[in-house]
Amino acid sequence: MIIHDITVPISNRLFVWPGDRPVSLGRISKLEEGAESNVSALSLSVHTGTHVDAPAHFIAGGGTVEGLPLEVLVGPAALVEIPAEVRLITAEVLEQVDLPAGTERVLFKTWNSTFWPELEDHFRTDYVGLDESTARWLVARGVKLVGIDYLSVSSYAHTTSTHLALLQAGVVLLEGLDLSKVRAGEYELFCLPLKLLGSDGAPARVVLIER
Amino acid sequence: MIIHDITVPISNRLFVWPGDRPVSLGRISKLEEGAESNVSALSLSVHTGTHVDAPAHFIAGGGTVEGLPLEVLVGPAALVEIPAEVRLITAEVLEQVDLPAGTERVLFKTWNSTFWPELEDHFRTDYVGLDESTARWLVARGVKLVGIDYLSVSSYAHTTSTHLALLQAGVVLLEGLDLSKVRAGEYELFCLPLKLLGSDGAPARVVLIER
């Protein structure tokens, strides 16, 4: 069994979505100052780094993150590589992709994966994402979880319409993946977000299992 | 495949270790106030609720949480039930337990599990934990991960000595589990803590898989 960690590390230098709270991670109790133990504290937006979106992110009164079904967060997933020259994933692009029939979880590796190996310290708007047509295409085919290798599944110009099309259909969104070191193929996904009561999202640790 | 969630939910009413930063979870951007989306922020001690300890928690210069090996955090685990009348898990208590040979991951379900179904809003010191003799017993038998159903693997009176004996041996500590709804037996453990750079611990989502 090989475990691939596809999670972005969280630190004070990790960029966040414009306007989101920056990460603050640091020791507030220190052995060297006579404390019994070292204890760190963390403050962040729940949409930081590798994270999931719950329906409540874009839908007033929508479901929150503790209600996302583990039966969707865990299970077989197809990791699909989108050619690096593609800058917007449309339904037409997906028609060219060899998505196995019955795929319920799909992770898109795109041009974005070239951003991650050396983390840039600022947010960029030219990342690759889905538009609304792609969202509807995936919903129609029974996909229940969509993952991507930047902070949003939707391209910057299509944020609300794409999120709504997916979240209204109950699709779980998994964003901020580091897919730079994994190849296209079939894996077992374990996406385990923090169990935050009433939250619109949660940071997660995510691994792909290759058996 | 059955997925058992053994994670305690994180909310503002969850008690923390005395002196630790309290949980603060709330929406800082709201659809109802005209924002593009709902966005929550989270602030907490990294030793809140269900979490792991890294060596740096008690050892100056010790390893931090991003270095905990996924090969230890994931794999077969024995869930052992300690009789509810036991208030301190000593090496003598463990001699009575039927721990399968070669067990590398062990989770202790104790009297503490009666605390979780209805979360109490304050910390208590009379919880069941291990003493140093038990820590050494487990290390000698090659155990690499120890979990328990309250905020510390060590009893309140033995905090530093027990933690040191385990952390110096590189044992991963998994604390704050809700084991109230799972039975003793063999499972596949997926313990996925947040990937926090340089931290002495991290909150985690933890599941047991029954195949």
pLDDT digits (tens, 9 = 90+) for B109-130: 999 999 886 667 789 999 999 9
| Distances from the Cα of A204 to the Cα of B22, B30, B113, B192, angstroms | 21, 22, 26, 8
Sign of the alpha-carbon dihedral angle for A39, A45, A48, A52: positive
Residue A80 belongs to some domain of the structure: yes
More confident residue, A119 or B140: B140
Look at residue A121 in the predicted model and tell me its pLDDT.
74
Look at residue B162 in the predicted model and tell me its pLDDT.
98
> What pLDDT digit, counting tens, does each position of A123-164 carry?
999 999 999 999 999 999 999 999 999 999 999 999 999 999
Residue A141 belongs to some domain of the structure: yes
pLDDT at B194 over 80: yes
pLDDT at B20 over 90: yes
Mean per-residue pLDDT, B70-95: 96
Best CA proximity match to B44, nearest among B188, B146, B194: B194
Look at residue A118 in the predicted model and tell me its pLDDT.
67
Mean per-residue pLDDT, A25-37: 97
- Taking one residue from A and the other from B, the number of pairs with CB-CB distance under 8 angstroms is 170
Residue A167 belongs to some domain of the structure: yes
Q: Smallest Cβ distance to A37: which of B28, B32, B57? A: B57
CATH of residue B125's domain is 3.50.30.50
Which residues of A are known to be catalytic? 57
> What pLDDT digit, counting tens, does each position of B35-44 carry?
999 999 999 9
ipTM higher than the 0.95 cut: yes
% pLDDT > 70, chain A: 99
Domain count, chain A: 1
Residue A203 belongs to some domain of the structure: yes
> What pLDDT digit, counting tens, does each position of A95-108 carry?
999 898 899 999 99
Sign of the alpha-carbon dihedral angle for B42, B47, B48, B52: positive
Mean per-residue pLDDT, A18-28: 96
Mean pLDDT, chain A, rounded, equals 96
- Name the one residue in this structure whose structure tokens are 């099309």: A165
Look at residue B119 in the predicted model and tell me its pLDDT.
66
Residue B161 belongs to some domain of the structure: yes
Look at residue A105 in the predicted model and tell me its pLDDT.
98
Look at residue B122 in the predicted model and tell me its pLDDT.
83
| Distances from the Cα of B19 to the Cα of B22, B112, B159, B211, angstroms | 9, 21, 15, 41
Closest chain A residue to B24, measured at CA:
A43
Active site residue B57: yes
- Name the one residue in this structure whose structure tokens are 């100052």: A33
B57, B122, B158, B163: the catalytic one is B57
* Distance to chain A for B84, nearest Cα, Å: 28
Instruction: Indicate the burial class of A3 (C-beta count within 10 angstroms; 0-12, 13-18, 19 or more).
Output: middle
Residue B194 belongs to some domain of the structure: yes
Would you place residue A115 in the very low, low, confident or very high pLDDT band (cuts 50, 70, 90)?
Answer: confident
Residue A25 belongs to some domain of the structure: no
Residue A83 belongs to some domain of the structure: yes
pLDDT at A114 over 70: yes
pLDDT at A201 over 80: yes
Please give the residue range of the domain that contains residue A107: 2-8+46-210
